[in-house]
Structure 1
Amino acid sequence: MTVNADAGPAATRAEPATGDVDRPEGVSGPVWLAAGTAAWFTGRATGSIAHRRPHQPRRLARVRAAVADLIGVSVDALHFMQQLHGAEVGVVDADTVSGAELRGVDALVTAEPDRALTVQVADCVPLLLGSSAGPVAAVHAGRRGVVASVVEASLEALDRLGASPQTLRAAIGPAIGGCCYEVPLALQRDVTDREPAADATTAWGTPSLHLPGAVAAILRRWGVEIVEDWLGCTRCDPSARWFSYRADHRAGRQAGIVVRHSEAA
């Protein structure tokens, strides 16, 4: 199911980043998903991209501005979600309010250039999709979202925008691995009944879930090419490069961002 955003003026467009732009720390990318379509992932060193600490609005504004500058859009072209661990998909179109945060969705899709779709995570899977046909998507794939079919719903929404699965390329970003995502056996079975590829065992021998593997399996069944699949774990990364809710419930959020620049439109 898709949810249309509120109407409003189109987002201001900016030129793609050039070599003289200062690169924020902790940013990975670009991963090219199609001509002119880039995926990026921020990290702990970048700073939290989310409104998790209301008393630090200036710091948040600086982080978002630096990231927008790097990827080549204006800061009001960054579109966020109020994520609920479901399977609703929000559509960002030409009338969507600049910088709008879509409420109650866990995926964003757009056929518009220069709209930077952003997913915020701290263990859940950030999935970014781009197509040679133009449309792009950012998907928040946590345990409940995977069970609710958020990945499949996103692929269906892209197909309606003219991007069939066979035209898509995917980047799977940093997430918690099966080594650390411990769950009760009954919960593991509930998830693996839906997606067997989620089955895993922790490093200490207890039932767990491997959500990146589940997302990858779904994409392959749909015929989507995976060009980036980060194989580490946000919780036990030896360099602590990522925010992890399981490691620290006060953790900030890193972002996965995808944008198709107008030069490729």
Structure 2
Amino acid sequence: MTFGADASGLGSAGAEHIFWWRRDIRPGVTAAFTQVSAGNLAFHVGTDDDGVRRHRAALAVAAGVDRVRYMEQEHGDRSVWAEGSGDLPVADALLSRGLPVAVMVADCVPILLAGEFPDGRPALGAVHAGRAGLAAGIVASAVDALREAGAQGIEAWIGPSICGRCYEVPAALRDEIEGKVPGTASTTSWGTPALDLSAGVEAQLDGLGVPVHKDAMACTFQEPRLFSHRRAPGEGRFAGVVWAHG
């Protein structure tokens, strides 16, 4: 789950400081999720914009890239391509043909996608699946956009999010989301209605024929090394990042 001896990249204390989990997921492609010690990566949280810039720059250095592309997430179903979309596109899925792309979360489900185009270029995606976006169809939007562009062999890596034993919601909301995304209804460890968003993500990916990898998963609410809006509102956002190299 955490940055381990088999992880790719720096293998140093600096890399461990930045990454919760990091792996070479395909030849020439790496995926990673950051942690609290990497710092807040979101400008819309807190007031320390200079700190966010430093944290983003440190992440790029640790990944060995010039910069990472981010998006302005809106809990919708819009997928855009990083190539030609400007510096901060409004979307909940950022796709690329090799450019480093990121999703920021602090309880929502981060999904990293990787496949290949017929010409050998990598097909990459970073997806933000919150409750509303999941119900709106962001998972299918991202996968369909990659496939429509010719991507093949797409696989998904689900990152840390609040688990179904901790994400308490009103019973009516649980039933509403379950009606739109079967498999999300859950119960907290203390016996109240809840949602399991990662289970819903996995079910949708299975339905799309996309293999799912879950070794990066953890509960953000329970794990202090990860940001959680439910546990500590306004503290920060960590990122899921996927990029091509070599």
Distance 2:193 2:180 in 1: 16
Q: Calculate percent identity across the aligned residue pairs.
A: 35
- Contact 1:129/1:168 (CA < 8 Å) preserved in 2? yes
Describe the shift of the 1:258–1:184 C-alpha distance in structure 2 as closer, same or farther (beyond 3 A).
same
1:211-226 paired onto structure 2 within 5 Å:
211-226=197-212
- Contact 1:35/1:132 (CA < 8 Å) preserved in 2? no
| TM-superposed deviation, 1:215 | 0.5
Give the secondary structure class of the aligned counterpart of 1:217: helix
Distance 1:63 1:153 in 2: 30
**Equivalent in the alignment of 1:89:** 79
Count of residue pairs the alignment pairs up = 235
| TM-superposed deviation, 1:26 | 4.5
Distance 1:146 1:53 in 2: 22
194, 207, 210: which one pairs with 2:193?
Answer: 207
105, 112, 126: which one pairs with 1:138?
Answer: 126
- Contact 1:21/1:69 (CA < 8 Å) preserved in 2? no
**Equivalent in the alignment of 1:48:** 40
**Equivalent in the alignment of 1:63:** 55
1:89-238 paired onto structure 2 within 5 Å:
89-93=79-83, 95-97=84-86, 100-103=87-90, 105-111=91-97, 113=98, 115-133=99-117, 134-164=122-152, 167-237=153-223
Give the secondary structure class of the aligned counterpart of 1:81: coil
- Contact 2:46/2:236 (CA < 8 Å) preserved in 1? no
Give TM-score, length-normalised by structure 2: 0.89
Distance 1:259 1:183 in 2: 35
Distance 1:56 1:195 in 2: 37
Distance 1:220 1:189 in 2: 22
**Equivalent in the alignment of 1:3:** none
**Equivalent in the alignment of 1:5:** none
2:37 partner letter: A
| TM-superposed deviation, 1:125 | 0.3
Describe the shift of the 1:132–1:228 C-alpha distance in structure 2 as closer, same or farther (beyond 3 A).
farther
| TM-superposed deviation, 1:170 | 1.1
- Contact 1:17/1:69 (CA < 8 Å) preserved in 2? no
**Equivalent in the alignment of 1:241:** 225
| TM-superposed deviation, 1:259 | 0.8
Distance 2:233 2:150 in 1: 40
Distance 1:33 1:225 in 2: 13
For 1:159-199, what per-residue CA distance to the aligned partner results, in whole angstroms no more than 9, with x for missing partners? 022114xx012110010001111111111111111222111
1:82 partner letter: E
Unaligned regions of 5+ residues in structure 1, if any? 1-15
Describe the shift of the 1:30–1:147 C-alpha distance in structure 2 as closer, same or farther (beyond 3 A).
same
Find runs of 4+ consecutive structure 1 residues off by over 4 angstroms. Answer: 16-21
Distance 1:20 1:45 in 2: 14
Distance 2:147 2:213 in 1: 19
| TM-superposed deviation, 1:18 | 5.3
1:102 partner letter: P
| TM-superposed deviation, 1:96 | 4.5
1:46 partner letter: A
